Structure 1
Amino acid sequence: MFGRKASLTQRLAALDEAAALGGDHLSPAEHAALARVADAADERRRLSGEHTVVGFFGATGSGKTSLFNAVVGEDLGKTAARRPTTSSPLAAVWDPAGSEELLDWLEVEDRRIRPGEFAPGAGPLILLDLPDFDSVEPVHREIATRLAGQVDVLVWVTDPEKYADSIIHDHFIRPHASHSAVTLAVLNKSDRLSDADRKAVSRSLEQLLKDDGLKKVSVIPTSAKTGYGIGDLRSAIARIAAAHSAQTARIEADIATVTAPWAGQKPLKAVPDSAKEWMDGLLADAAGSDRLADITAAAYRKRLGQKTGWLLTSWMLRLRPDPLKRLGLREEADDTGVHRSSIPALDASGRAVANRGVRGYAADVSEGLPDRWTSAVVDRTETIIDSLPEELDRAAARTELPAQPSRAWGLFTVVQWLALLTALVGVIWFLLAAFVPGVLHPLLDEVIPTVEGWPVPTLLILGGLLTGIVLGMFTAVNGLAIGSTVKWRTRRALRREVAEISEEKVAAPLLEIREQYSQFLDAIRVAAGK
């Protein structure tokens, strides 16, 4: 956030964004956890910010309710025959103004208003006595689990016999390992221990809590029976309440817990350009770049021969079908995207080459992505592969093919015609001299003059024919040489079209998933306060 730590409002907005970006790429449990924390935080901040909500959690037999009554200063259970056991939440409320909506959100119906204040400076306070979280009644465990995710301060109550019970640590304490700042640990029934044993068990419990991830929690030994440690517990609760930061600390701890799986992930590196270049090369091969280059070169040679070849034989080239037109290809690009060529559909080998290119690129895109995001890339890749043959055919149809000889070759056409006309003059001269000799007498002193012993008509005929043949051979040789350039230009043009199509149809859809994950990580980092 531009060098400044994001506010809680910004962090919650980022958490909402992360949940939206995660979408189907997160497991249902992961998505629900992100959404639940964001929604719960919004609800809690909307409700009374003055009241600090403290929940007492414990296993059956831990003396939790007796401890709760000792802290409250009265056995609230005696005032209500409808609550013989801890089967539903009970709230002790100091300074109740504004607490109604908050208690409604907590779904706590049993509310007891306490006179005065809990402790000097503690401010409005709500203490909750909750059902045992190891109760045989599923509804009791559900209530305890739900409120463990809603209260501002968690008080874990255990006793010397059950303090190491795995149910407490595995299912409740460890999932809240980020909540050290709003957690109090109580070793109740400590009157059953000697002073030395009380210290030893407290140290053991403290170590277990550290192993659970609660690094800053101290154990408070208490006895609801004798009153030992009750004052210390009240002071600890009052100190947290007086700071008026428990609500924010709790929300921040919830965010830290839910973002922990991703907050430490490193940003993704960009997919190297070489990955797409490699894919484009294979796609161009699959699209028949070599065959198209050969066909275009053949068409160029045919048209050059028709245009500049010896006129007495070049007409025969016109009888051969044009290689490009036979396949429905055109020299100009088909920008409409409607035209299709008659190039045979990809065979098994061509499909294998194209699929290898796309899957190889998908593997590069998936580099560094979690499993579910990788699966999304794989699924989208298979969809892309299904439409790939049609797209490659479209690339061929869109390719501008350099099969038409330039207009400069027209000069050779003119020379060919002049050479042919020269030869025809020689032939006509001989014919006139043979069949109508009197016609030439007024024009020439000699009907058939000679040069160095060669009749001029003969020279005209030989010169015209030889010129046409030599020019035809010259342009044919040049056609072969230029054909190599035509092949190269054709391959380049087709690869350019393939690159554009692969960018739109392959790279963009796959990189979209990668970009979503990058944006998801960015939102997670902001939410986590990184």
Structure 2
Amino acid sequence: MSRHGAAREASQLDRRLAALNDARELAEGVLPDAALEDVFQLLERAGSRRSLSADHTVVGFFGATGSGKSSLFNAVSGAEIATAAARRPTTSEPLAGVWGADGSEPLLDWLEVRNRHHAVPVAGFADEGTGLILLDLPDFDSTRAANRAIVERMVGLVDVLVWVLDPQKYADAAVHNDFLKPMAAHGAVTLVVLNQIDRLPERDVEPVLESLRGILARDGLGKVQVLGASALKGTGVDAVRSAIRGVATRRQALSQRLAADVSRASQQLSDVSGVGEAAGVRPASTSRLTDELATAANVPLVVDAVATSYRLESTRRTGWPATRWLLRFKSDPLRRLNLKSSSPSQLNRTSLPPAGAPERARTDAAVREFADAASEGAPGPWRAAIRGAAREGRDALPDALDQAIAGTDLMTSRKSWWWGIFNVVQWLALATAVGGLGWLGVLAGLAYLQLPVPEVPRMEGWPVPTLMIAGGGVLGIFLAITGKFIGAGAARARAAKARRRLGAAVGGVARDLVVEPVEVEVSRLSSFNAALKAALKTAGGG
């Protein structure tokens, strides 16, 4: 493999590992801890292996009892290892044959392999200065739990897996279900050897190999290389040695093994998560949530109070002066709700009715409906996370809504420009009527005292004092009625403004406590899917 090709492959592996780690971090608190721990362990293993010798390819020989695994290992390795193998203290200990000592010791320490034997080059094998480590491992069907644990650990650590099967047990469900099928993603670094073919009639060798290939295809390993060999007679040993040598000299096994690990872990994470994107937060659902929360928080009651308060204040300022004082006995609804203030920012609480069971039920239903709409299309665990985020701030909603209403400027201290004009004219009308009454009173007094009564000026035949009383009274009543109509319209306009301001305040609470937490979870799912897609991307898929 060229230096540029190796660098490009390493760079892509870096990106995939980083993407897998991003997916793991994004899924924390959503997916099961066990699944995330498996991914974390893989990332730890990948980081450790890449920090060790990249010049050595680690090849593990795996097989069941009686498969001739150790004999094949010795045949492939050469006489030096075979002699060392005969002196092994126990078959439960891995044995390493090492070609190229430089840099192998830290790698073997990480593999926890104590039995190490440095071999001389074998013709046609590790004769090009290529670092190579062959491991003869315990039988994977051993009755000793420690032996099986070693095998399971090594399956996750070696760069290349050589599965040694025998003609009698090559279809054994244990090896296929427990080891080969779960490692289907690792076909590029897997070699299957049917050993002891010398026990088969020559005419049966190829049919048995074809049968094995068919079983492997059902395991997802249809492209894996399958070789027949006999360690006893040396048949096919050179082919096995050549296949291992080819893997070692290409120096791709490490990156291919880790890439397969990433693919497998990413797929497992995808299976646990499920596939899909959340519909997300839509303006219509946000608007409905705000409306429902506003209703539950008694915003309509406040809006009505704003209109009533304005009409009351308008009548107090523009009504007939002779009767407007009676309005002092009417209480201002905004004052009863503790919302009548020149400085709304100083208000902390309102006197609105506390949220009862119906209001709480309405709030819960609104939040649930919003969360359901936002989580539509999301996989199960993420749908639960989105709904949980929406419910998290539910208990804080009543207080937050009350404070938002208390802090909203309802423009209660703002006076209308026309009040002053109407008020001045009303007082002039009253003064005119009173003046007319006073004038007539003086004339009546003079007449009563038998004093000379001056002639009263007339207009169109009507005495001026009488016209003053009639004109002042009519004008005052007209202004009072007109002021009520104008005040009603202005009250509706002010109530509409108050509704918009209160809606904005309620919307702010909804965004802080419900919408934004949901948006965070929806965004987290989107980022998780993107990271998982990047982690699953293979070199061939670009």
Asked if Structure 1 and Structure 2 have the same fold, meaning a TM-score greater than 0.5 normalized by the shorter chain, the answer is: yes
Q: 1:493-520, CA deviations, whole angstroms, 9 ceiling, x for partnerless residues?
A: 2211111111111111121122122222
Q: Corresponding residue for 1:17?
A: 22
Aligned to 2:52: 47
2:426 aligned with 1:416, yes or no?
A: yes
Q: Give the aligned partner of residue 5 of structure 2.
A: none
Deviation at 1:112, TM superposition (A): 0.9
Offset of residue 91 of structure 1: 0.6
In 1, the alpha carbon distance for the partners of 2:201 and 2:61 equals 25
**Residue type matched to 2:155 in 1?**
A
Please give the alpha-carbon distance, in whole angstroms, between the structure 2 residues aligned to 1:122 and 1:313.
Answer: 113
1:332–1:399 contact (8 Å) kept in structure 2: no
User: Structure 2 residue aligned with 1:394, among 392, 403, 412?
Assistant: 403
1:499 has 2:507 as partner: yes
How many residues align? The count is 523
Q: 1:22 & 1:74 partners in 2: Cα distance?
A: 52
Residue deviations 1:186-236 (CA, integer Å, cap 9, x gap): 111222212332211211211221211123212111122222211111010
Question: Percent identity of the aligned residues?
Answer: 42
**Equivalent position to 1:190, from 193, 197, 202:** 197
Correspondence list, 1:195-214, <5 A: 195-214=202-221
Give the match for residue 188 of structure 2.
181
- Give the Cα–Cα distance (whole angstroms) in 2 for the partners of residues 150 and 286 of structure 1: 60
1:163 partnered with 2:170: yes
* Corresponding residue to 1:248 among 242, 247, 255: 255
Match of 1:513 among 501, 506, 521: 521
Alignment map for 1:300-379 (pairs within 5 Å): 300-330=310-340, 334-335=344-345, 339-379=348-388
TM-score by length of 2: 0.90
Q: Which runs of 5+ in 1 are unaligned?
A: none
Superimposed CA distance per residue, residues 83-132 of structure 1 (whole angstroms, 9 cap, x where no aligned partner): 35531211110111110100111111111110125433371100011122
Against the structure 1 CA distance between its residues 516 and 181, is the aligned structure 2 distance closer, same or farther, given a 3 Å change threshold?
same
Return the letter of the residue paired with 2:315: G
Structure 2 equivalent of residue 484 of structure 1? 492
Alignment of 1:279-290 (within 5 A): 279-290=289-300
The letter for the 1-side match of 2:336 is R
Q: 1:267 to 1:370 in 2, by over 3 A?
A: closer
TM-score norm. by structure 1 comes to 0.92
For 1:288, the aligned partner's letter is: N
**Conservation of the 8 A alpha-carbon contact between 1:333 and 1:397:** no
Specify the alignment match of 1:465 in structure 2. 473
Counterparts of 1:330 and 1:120 in 2: how far apart (Å)?
A: 94
Q: CA deviation at 1:451?
A: 3.1
Quote the residue 1:220 is aligned against: 227
Is 1:115 the counterpart of 2:125? The answer is no
Change (3 A) 1:485 1:471: same
Closer, same or farther in 2 for the Cα pair 1:150/1:242, shift >3 Å? same
Indicate the SS of the match to 1:180.
Answer: helix
How far apart, in 1, do the equivalents of 2:217 and 2:180 lie? 10
DSSP-derived class of the 2:141 partner? coil
Aligned to 2:443: 433
1:383 aligns with 2:403: no
Alignment partner, residue 94 of structure 1: 99
User: Does the Cα contact within 8 Å between 2:280 and 2:373 map onto a contact in 1?
Assistant: no
3-state SS in 2 of match to 1:24: coil
Of 475, 480, 483, 2:483 maps to 475
Mapped partners of 1:42, 1:436: distance in 2 = 118
Deviation, structure 1 residue 243: 0.3
What is the deviation of 1:266? 5.5
Does the 8 Å contact 1:62/1:188 carry over to 2? yes
Output the CA distance in 1 between the equivalents of 2:81 and 2:14: 38
User: Are positions 1:60 and 2:81 aligned together?
Assistant: no
User: Do the aligned residues in 2 keep the contact of 1:122 with 1:239 (CA within 8 Å)?
Assistant: no
Contact 2:67 2:166 in 1 (8 A): yes
1:83 corresponds to: 88
Alignment-mate amino acid for residue 331 of structure 2: P
TM-aligned CA deviation for residue 324 of structure 1: 0.6
Residue 287 of structure 2 is aligned to residue 277 of structure 1 = yes
Whether the 8 Å CA contact 2:275–2:378 is kept in 1: the answer is no
- Is the 8 Å Cα contact of residues 399 and 493 (structure 1) preserved in structure 2? yes
Amino acid aligned to 1:234: R
Q: Which region of structure 1 is more displaced relative to structure 2, 461-470 or 44-53? A: 461-470
| Residue 528 (structure 1) aligned with residue 536 (structure 2) | yes
Q: CA deviation at 1:54?
A: 0.3
Deviates more, 1:7-16 or 1:313-322: 7-16
Q: Supply the distance in 2 between the matched residues of 1:198 and 1:192 (Cα, whole angstroms).
A: 9
**Post-superposition offset of 1:357:** 1.2
Query: Measured at CA, do residues 474 and 183 of structure 1 come closer, stay the same or move farther in structure 2, by a change above 3 Å?
Result: same
Q: In the aligned structure 1, how far is the partner of 2:409 from the partner of 2:464?
A: 50
Q: Which runs of 5+ in 2 are unaligned?
A: 1-7
Q: Distance in 2 between matches of 1:278 and 1:200?
A: 69
Aligned equivalents of 1:54, 1:510: Cα separation in 2: 49
**3-state SS in 1 of match to 2:134:** strand
Is 2:149 aligned against 1:139?
no
Q: Which moved more, 1:417-426 or 1:357-366?
A: 357-366
- For 2:276 and 2:102, how far apart are their aligned partners in 1? 47
* Number of the residue aligned with 1:454: 462
Cα distance, 1:80–1:222 mapped onto 2, change above 3 Å: closer
Q: How much has 1:446 moved relative to structure 2? A: 2.8
TM-superposed deviation, 1:380: 2.9
Amino acid at match of 2:208: V
Shift of 1:284: 1.5
Partner SS, residue 140 of structure 1: helix
Separation in 2, partners of 1:86, 1:364: 61
Extract structure 1 runs of 4+ deviating beyond 6 A.
none
Alignment root-mean-square deviation, CA = 2.6
Measure the CA separation in 2 of the matches of 1:261 and 1:274: 36
Aligned residues of 2:99 and 2:126 also touching (Cα < 8 A): no
Q: Could you give the per-residue CA deviations for residues 360-386 of structure 1, whole angstroms, max 9, x where no partner exists? A: 111123223333323323333332111
Q: Give 1:458 shift.
A: 1.9
Amino acid at match of 1:456: V
